Amino acid sequence: MSSRPPTLLPAPVWRRLANDHADRTRLLVGDHITRRSRGQKHPVWDFLFDYYMVSPAKLANWHPGVDRGLEGEPPHKKWKGYTTVTVDGTPAVAVDRDGERRRHGSELAAIGRLLAATVDNPAHFNCFGLHEWAMVYRQKTHRHPLPLRLGQEGTDAVVDSHDLKCTHIDAYRFFTPPAKPLNLHVITRDSQPEFEQCGCLHATMDLFKWAKKMGPLVDGELLLDCFELAKDARVLDMEASPYDCRELGFGVVAVETAEGKRQYVNRQRELAQRAAPLRSRLLGIVEAVM
């Protein structure tokens, strides 16, 4: 991605793109909005909105991205992070690259370093999703109001019979106190770039976090691609967890068995393959702006 002037989008074009984005957002979050209007919680899907601190309304806001300018009078003209430029003699509204770099340069640089490290570090596909098991290991109360598929003793036995190889700080930090010493690595926030790797299910989900944090620099299509991937990764995360999610319509990936491990790794690899071009696009945006 270069630093050349943005491509001008005529008003009918960007309006269509914005409408398409709104329609796609409704498909992705419509069920969540309905549940929220009824005051209903969901132990699987609420995570994406609560942990990543994003609202459906924010998701529905379409951004053109760093390389496109909008002809006419788009609502973006009043949004933070935008400025007026001239493209081939035509006034246009575009992302204020210089302003975003001044305001968020240190955060963008940190995101870029982490994304680059994730690509450079060797990929691992041998954790089998046991981070979720380590979060309930030898614990009487659990985060989700769901039964444990193998019960507490059975869950603890699975952890005891496996090596914990988690590489993601934001999974590792939720391990129960007796589980943390069982992990192959002691991970801190400072050492996160040393361990982050593209095979990790949560590193895949976190592409949505980085896309959201980059604000108007990220085009709406890429943001929703990252969100949709995070949803699919969340399905595997919970189907392979110790929780029994079948009453919610989910399946089971029994990672305590050889067949379950095979299923997990196959799906983990597919998600990592889908994540690779999205991570590359996010990294390209950081490099273009910085």
Q: How far apart are CA 222 and CA 253, in angstroms?
A: 29
Least confident of 44-48, 78-82, 140-144: 140-144
Tens digit of each residue's pLDDT (9 = 90 or more) over 257-274: 999 999 999 999 999 999
How many angstroms separate the CA atoms of 50 and 205, rounded? 14
Beta strand segments in the chain, E: 7-9, 68-71, 82-87, 90-95
Examine the pLDDT at 104 and tell me if it is beyond 70.
yes
4-8, 104-108, 233-237: least confidently modelled range: 4-8
Write the pLDDT tens digit of every residue in 230-255.
Answer: 999 999 999 999 999 999 999 999 99
| Domain assignments of the chain as residue spans, ordered by start | 7-289
Tokens of 48: 């994406």
CA 211, CA 230: separation in Å to the nearest integer? 11
120-134 average pLDDT score: 97
Task: Give the model's confidence band at 5: pLDDT under 50 very low, under 70 low, under 90 confident, else very high.
Answer: confident
With cut-offs at 50, 70 and 90, classify the pLDDT of residue 89.
Answer: confident
User: Residue 25: is its pLDDT beyond 50?
Assistant: yes
Looking at 84-93, 121-130, 203-212, 214-223, which range is the least confident one? 84-93
**Strand pairing of 7-9 and 68-71?**
parallel
- pLDDT band at residue 3, thresholds of 50, 70 and 90? low
Q: Is the pLDDT of residue 127 over 80?
A: yes
Position 2 scores a pLDDT of 44
Name the average pLDDT for the chain: 95
Q: pLDDT-based confidence at 1, cuts 50/70/90? A: very low
CA distance 25 to 28: 5
